[in-house]
Amino acid sequence: MEDYNDLFRMRHTAQHVLAYAMEILFPGVKKAMGPATADGFYGDFELPEGVAVSLDDFQKIEDKMKEIINSGKDMIYQEVSLAEAKKLFQDNIYKLEWIQEIDARGEKISLYWIGDENVDLCAGPHVGNVKDVKAFKLLNIAGAYWRGDSKNKMLTRIYGTAYPSEKALKEYLHNREEAEKRDHRKLGPALDLIYFDNKSPGAPYWLPKGLIIYKELYNFWSYYHEDHGYLEYRGPLVNRKELFEISGHWDHYKEHMFILNQDKHNILVIKPMGCPNALVAFNLQTRSYQDLPYRLADVDMLYRHEDAGALAGLFRTYEFNQDDAHIFISEDQIESEYNNIIDIVEDFYNLFELQCSFQLSTRPDDFMGEVETWNRAEIILKDILTKRFGQDGFTIKEKDGAFYGPKLDIHMKDCLGREWQMGTIQLDFQLPGRFNSHYIDENGNRQTPILLHRVIYGAIGRFIAILIEHFSGKFPVWLSPVHAVIIPISDAYSAYADKIYQVLHDVEIRTATRGLRITKDYSSDRFQKRIRNAQVQYIPYMLIVGENEKNNNTVSVRTRDGQQLNNIPLENFIEILKNKIRSKSLEIKLDA
């Protein structure tokens, strides 16, 4: 397959082959829906009464899929009338619902046949022949409500993937297995970083070690933004609904808000987003064109109501801190400010060796404002992106902008090649006018500013989850909850270990804690067990002290990766550690 579209077509056809196999193996099954996805495909099915499908059935389903693929049938496209479609799928309530919607939109009703044997309602695209489906694998099974609505029937969802070669499939399966090992929902609690309790759904406990990582990321963010002209502030957590009526969020986002009904005259909202508060803060003074860009930044806690079934560790929660910034500018500052923000994005993501890419999202169906304003905003952003990245250096996703403006979404790839949608930079011509925001231009006239909404990390907890999985819990030194652990060979060297601890404890360096994060292991465990304990906690450095080290005022250092250097002068190790922290190096290896 030469590009993503070819891969998408193949996966889409693989899903049709899965559906055909299910109909052969489980007579009476109803096909509901089944798209191709970014990493595979899935199919939703209503199984006949008394029939269940499990992972144990995957082998026979895959065997049947291979039979269908080997038959070499063509994928045949056909357009039909409303009456023909209804007759063809008269026994399938799911397809009938789709047919009604397609007809209501005034679109063509189309089918895809596998040869002349099996048909499904589908707009495509597909490969030309089922033999073009190469290496595939069924992956998992789960329950899924029809159309994601818990009021609807629970269906059986089967996940799979397909690749152009066995080699590519094996690489994907290896990465998938690795991702399961790195799952932050397992690693986070195992490393004493976070804890999830079913009595607090959608809201994690940040344990002391996890909070250190959180604070390090926040401190880096805060110092960096202060150096780049941002003013940090904090807005109220609880606001009256009128604030969100002015901004338009009440009409566009109410179903995702946590609402406190005091009485009909006093409806309060727990803050789901920070932009209305930033606009209020901007309006507190008369601003001049010389104040622009006026950059307000915050990491306030936000609360958004999600479907309980959508909650997923730190990836999707009810509460989260987001590294927000709202930047008030004039129109002639749009390009320079966008470039400044993209520079920040690259600085942040490069720090973790995360590859980033950019996607322009355009006017959605439920947009606010005038089409002409939107068109102008989209042209401006396309021009900025083309100048910065070239004609093919970004992607476009139609109709996925915010309701108040087009946006530039930031996607990144981790070490396993998984893509995540992270931060965003949104261009807003709407909200400043709704809040009557203004500044005085160089001619003494009132002008409405343009507002940029932007986040870099996104939700900080979600970013930490990605880092846990990206680094497999082996954080760089500056982020590690413990920088080093002192392990005396025996109790005879505890006094020297105490001396080392005190020296390290007193080192002055700016971190999220008071300095170096050093612990001691004087437990009764055998020496090798104490080494192992440090390794499984992924502590970067183990400082081993015994007779040699005591006599020479040195330490022997073992890294969590197994490197060992003996009898390093303590002052040398302190400088090495300080340099690793200050430079935010990802490398823990020590120079001999």
Q: Which fold has domain 4-172?
A: Threonyl-tRNA Synthetase; Chain A, domain 2 (3.30.980)
pLDDT of residue 120: 94
Same fold flag, 4-172 and 187-470: no
322 in catalytic set = yes
Q: What digits encode the pLDDT tens for the residues 392-411?
A: 899 998 988 888 889 999 99
For 477-583, which CATH superfamily applies?
Answer: Anticodon-binding domain (3.40.50.800)
At 300, is the pLDDT very low, low, confident or very high (cuts 50, 70, 90)? very high
**CA-CA distance, 414 to 418, in Å (whole number)?**
6
**What angle in degrees, to the nearest 10, is found between the helix axes of 460-470 and 166-182?**
120
**Is 413 one of the annotated active-site residues of the chain?**
no
d(CA 408, CA 381): 8
User: 208-227 and 334-351 helices cross at what angle (nearest 10)?
Assistant: 140
Using CA atoms, how far residue 485 sits from 264, 380, 482, 490, 568, in Å, is 58, 53, 7, 15, 15
Task: Name residue 430's amino acid.
Answer: Q
- Is the domain covering 187-470 a CATH 3.40.47.10 domain? no
Structure tokens at 274: 């920070």
Where residue 25 falls among pLDDT bands split at 50, 70, 90? very high
**Smallest Cα–Cα separation from 269: which of 226, 319, 304, 316?**
304
CA distance linking residue 144 with residue 380, whole number of Å: 41
Q: Is the model's pLDDT at 91 over the cut of 90? A: yes
131 is catalytic: no
Of 407, 454, 517, 580, which is the active-site residue? 407
State how far the Cα of 24 lies from the Cα of 57, in Å rounded to an integer: 13
Residues 6+ apart with CB under 8 A from 28: 48, 51
Read off the pLDDT of residues 198-232 as tens digits, 9 standing for 90 and up.
899 899 999 999 999 999 999 999 999 999 999 99
Amino acid letter, residue 263: D
Query: The sheet that has 118-121: what strands, in order across it?
Result: 75-80, 109-114, 118-121
Catalytic residue among 322, 426, 430, 447: 322
pLDDT average, residue stretch 346-366: 91
Quote the pLDDT of residue 261: 81
Here the tokens at position 433 are: 């006018």
Q: 304 catalytic, yes or no?
A: yes
At residue 2 the predicted structure's pLDDT band, cuts being 50, 70 and 90, is: very low
Annotated active-site residue 326? The verdict is yes
- Report the pLDDT value the prediction gives residue 592, as an integer from 0 to 100: 61
Q: Give the tens place of pLDDT for each residue, 409-454.
A: 999 888 888 888 888 999 999 999 999 999 999 999 999 999 999 9
Per-residue pLDDT tens digits for 226-277? 999 999 999 999 999 999 999 999 998 899 999 998 777 889 999 999 999 9
Banded model confidence at residue 341, pLDDT cuts 50, 70, 90: very high
Q: What is the pLDDT of residues 95-120, one digit of tens each?
A: 999 999 999 999 999 999 999 989 99
Measured between alpha carbons, how far is 244 from 286 in angstroms, rounded to an integer? 23
Compute φ and ψ for 492, nearest 5 degrees: -65, -20
Indicate the helix (H) or strand (E) that contains 141. Answer: strand 135-145
Find, among 572, 513, 499, the residue nearest to 541 by Cα.
Answer: 572
Q: Is the pLDDT of residue 3 over 80?
A: no
- Residue range 172-195: mean pLDDT, rounded: 94
Kindly report whether the peptide bond that precedes residue 125 is cis, defined as omega within 30 degrees of 0.
yes
Checking if the pLDDT of 1 tops 60, the result is no
Task: Evaluate whether 474 touches 507 at the Cβ level (below 8 Å).
Answer: no
What is the distance between the terminal CA atoms of the chain, rounded to a whole angstrom? 47
Q: For residues 549-568, give the mean pLDDT.
A: 94
Provide the β-strand partners of residue 413.
Answer: 355, 419
Q: Which of 126, 157, 453, 530 is catalytic?
A: 453
Over residues 68-89, mean pLDDT? 95
Domain ranges of the chain: 4-172, 187-470, 477-583
Told to judge if 447 belongs to the known catalytic residues of this protein, a careful annotator would answer no
Report the mean per-residue pLDDT for the chain.
93
Contact at 8 Å (CB) between 126 and 15? no
- 443-469 burial string, b = 16+ CB within 10 Å, else e? eeeebbbbbbbbbbbbbbbbbbbbbbb
Distance CA 268, CA 423 (A): 28
Q: Give bridge partners of residue 30 from the DSSP assignment.
A: 46
Tell me which residue has tokens 């502590």. 539
Contact 407, 353 (CB under 8 A): no
State the catalytic residue, choosing from 9, 16, 326, 483: 326
Confidence band for 307, pLDDT divided at 50, 70 and 90? confident
What is d(CA 128, CA 487) in angstroms, rounded to the nearest whole number? 65
Phi, psi for residue 44 in degrees, rounded to 5: -105, 130
122 classed as catalytic: no
